[in-house]
Amino acid sequence: MLRPFTLHRPETAEEACALLARLGEDAVPYAGGTELLLLMKLGLLRPPHLVDVKRIRELNELADGGRLTIGATVTHRSLERSPLVRARCPLVASVARHVANVRVRNVGTIGGNLAFADPHSDLATLFLALDAHVELVSPGGRRELSLGDFVRGPWETARRPDELLAGVRLAPWPSRAAAYVKFGVHERPTLGIAVALGLNGGDGRAGARIQDARIAVGCVGPRPARMFTAEARLRGVSVDRVDDVVGAVGDSAAAGVDPADDLHGSADYKREMVAVFVRRALRVAAARAGGVEPATSFPYAVVA
Ligand SMILES: Cc1cc2nc3c(=O)[nH]c(=O)nc-3n(C[C@H](O)[C@H](O)[C@H](O)COP(=O)(O)OP(=O)(O)OC[C@H]3O[C@@H](n4cnc5c(N)ncnc54)[C@H](O)[C@@H]3O)c2cc1C
């Protein structure tokens, strides 16, 4: 049951931060409430004050200024349907379409997802691969942090109590050679793999070589992680010959994760799944480089 609380509805980020600063530990930001209200109903969190951030116009914007800016209160559903996001970062729109279920997507926000720092976040994994940065606003001003610095661990971020997450910024990936594959049998994903390949000479050129490779693995460790050693194995490889190295790259990623036994499976099982799904994600990304959308059907998995 929900205990009584006071709901504040500021109209600007500055007003919201001033409230957070004044009320201290008694107040928390409140967006879609899909996580927060659940914790409150279970009695795991009892904040006397909620600062509703959904009326703050600047937090609800999607803007294109070189980098794509996604405001913190943009919902998964808006991200999925935005013509701007579909044109500039189709993979982001496609991943948003596969978050949770339509009820959660309709009210759950990007900011709430990242600020909550649940290790089973699809967006944190994808955004890490795309070198995203978050913007934080406080009574003291604004600061930008890389997503890797922002997410510190399970349910832990670098956000100070009087700060609001204003949004996330990312540079659209210049190649079609990217994929996100998620796998799981529970409500939240057991595993998420984001792969993005940058090719010299661009997509569709026979013999184009990989000059930049990003692999991020999420859900199996305390926070999403880039697999730098695995990425290095891809550099210089012709995109037509990715199949020759996927085994080694998958094994390298599996060696680089830090899984724990839990209800999603044992640590050994998760490592094995990382190897399998890195291989699969890489094959999809490489096929997309050549303009081919491969037919995929992996049980309990979604390819975005
Ligand atoms: C059934 C279910 C299935 C799910 N499946 C998936 C999935 O498949 N993939 C996935 O990635 N996620 C999944 N999620 C997580 C979902 O994406 C998040 O619940 C949602 O995005 C959180 O957003 P919200 O606006 O509801 O956050 P809220 O519940 O309002 O807030 C969450 C936390 O973030 C803080 N907060 C919110 N906004 C801000 C802000 N602007 N600045 C600072 N702090 C803020 C709040 O204080 C709170 O601590 C699932 C959730 C549920 C309930």
d(CA 112, CA 159): 12
CA of 76 from ligand 1 middle (Å) equals 10
Pick from 119, 130, 122, 129: nearest CA to 156:
119
CATH architecture of 58-170: 2-Layer Sandwich (3.30)
- What is the average pLDDT score of the chain? 96
**Is residue 123 in contact with ligand 1, taking CB distance under 6 Å?**
yes
Q: What is the pLDDT of residue 201?
A: 82
* pLDDT, average across residues 62-79: 96
Q: What is the pLDDT of residue 152?
A: 98
Residue 58 near residue 137 (C-beta atoms within 8 A): no
Task: Using most ligand atoms within 8 A of CB, pick from 53, 181, 188 the residue to mutate for ligand 1.
Answer: 188
Q: What is the pLDDT of residue 206?
A: 78
Could you tell me the two tokens for 73? 């209160």
CA-nearest residue for atom 33, ligand 1, is 116
Q: What is the percentage of the chain residues whose pLDDT exceeds 90?
A: 93
Confidence of residue 110 (pLDDT cuts 50, 70, 90): very high
**pLDDT tens-digit map of 125-169:** 999 999 999 999 999 999 999 999 999 999 999 999 999 999 999
**pLDDT tens-digit map of 179-209:** 999 999 999 999 999 999 999 988 878 789 9
Pick from 28, 182, 189, 191: nearest CA to 112:
28
The CATH number that domain 178-303 falls under is 3.30.390.50
Q: What is the pLDDT of residue 205?
A: 81
CA-nearest residue for atom 16, ligand 1, is 113
Residue 276 near residue 191 (C-beta atoms within 8 A): no
- In the chain, what are the domain boundaries? 58-170, 178-303
**Sign of the alpha-carbon torsion through 14, 48, 153, 280:** negative
d(CA 228, CA 223): 15
pLDDT of 273 above 90: yes
pLDDT of 52 above 90: yes
Confidence of residue 297 (pLDDT cuts 50, 70, 90): confident
**pLDDT tens-digit map of 75-93:** 999 999 999 999 999 999 9
Q: What is the pLDDT of residue 203?
A: 84
Which residues touch 242 (CB under 8 Å, ≥6 apart)? 210, 234, 282, 283, 286
Total residues belonging to the chain: 304
**Is residue 35 in contact with ligand 1, taking CB distance under 6 Å?**
yes
Task: Using most ligand atoms within 8 A of CB, pick from 17, 35, 92 the residue to mutate for ligand 1.
Answer: 35
